[in-house]
C-alpha cells in the first residue's frame, strides 16, 4: 500500500486502511515499550486504538529523527478524548504516546467535529 502524503495524508491513509475491509484491517504495532509509556498517562492500548478508529481529527505533523509523526485527537468508545501521537511502521500504526486531552484541546476537538 502506498505511503501517505505529508500532513493530512496520514489521517487519510489510516482511514483508508480502516475502511478498506473491517475493523481488523487496521493493525497496530504494540510492544512493551509503547504500552508501558502510555500506561504512565493512564491510557490503555485499546483506548488509543479507539481514538484513532473513531474518526479522529488530525492536529499536527512533524518529522522526528527522519520519522513522520502525526498528532491526532480522537475519542474512545466511552467518550474520553485523547491526544495520540503516532507513526506508520510498514502498514502498522505505531502509537508513540497517548494522553488525555486538556480542556482546551478537547474544546478544539469538539469544534473541529462540529459539536460546539
- For residues 87 and 90, give the distance between their C-alpha atoms in angstroms, rounded to a whole number: 10
**Residue 98 placed within a domain:** yes
Task: Give the chain's domain count.
Answer: 1
Has residue 3 been placed in a domain?
no
**Which pLDDT score, from 0 to 100, does residue 91 have?**
87
Q: Which domain holds residue 50?
A: 9-112
Please indicate, yes or no, if residue 47 is contained in any of the structural domains: yes
Asked if residue 4 is part of any domain, the answer here is: no
Q: Judge whether 79 lies within some domain.
A: yes
So what's the pLDDT on residue 26?
Answer: 81
Q: Is residue 1 situated within a structural domain?
A: no
Residue 60 inside a domain? The answer is: yes
Splitting the chain (116 residues) into consecutive groups of 10 residues, what average pLDDT does each group show?
45 50 71 97 98 91 92 96 95 96 94 85
Which whole-number Å values give the CA distances from 75 to 47, 48, 65, 78, 91, in the listed order?
A: 8, 9, 28, 8, 23
pTM of the full structure: 0.79
Amino acid at each position: 500500500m502506498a505511503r501517505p502524503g505529508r500532513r493530512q495524508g496520514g489521517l487519510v491513509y489510516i482511514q483508508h486502511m480502516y475502511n478498506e475491509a473491517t475493523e481488523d484491517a487496521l493493525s497496530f504495532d504494540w510492544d512493551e515499550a509503547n504500552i508501558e509509556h502510555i500506561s504512565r498517562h493512564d491510557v490503555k492500548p485499546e483506548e488509543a486504538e479507539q481514538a484513532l478508529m473513531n474518526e479522529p481529527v488530525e492536529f499536527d505533523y512533524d518529522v522526528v529523527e527522519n520519522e513522520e509523526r502525526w498528532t491526532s485527537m480522537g475519542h474512545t468508545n466511552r467518550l474520553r478524548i485523547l491526544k495520540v501521537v503516532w507513526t506508520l511502521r510498514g502498514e502498522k500504526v505505531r502509537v508513540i504516546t497517548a494522553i488525555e486531552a486538556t480542556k482546551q484541546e478537547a474544546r478544539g476537538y469538539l469544534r473541529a467535529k462540529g459539536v460546539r
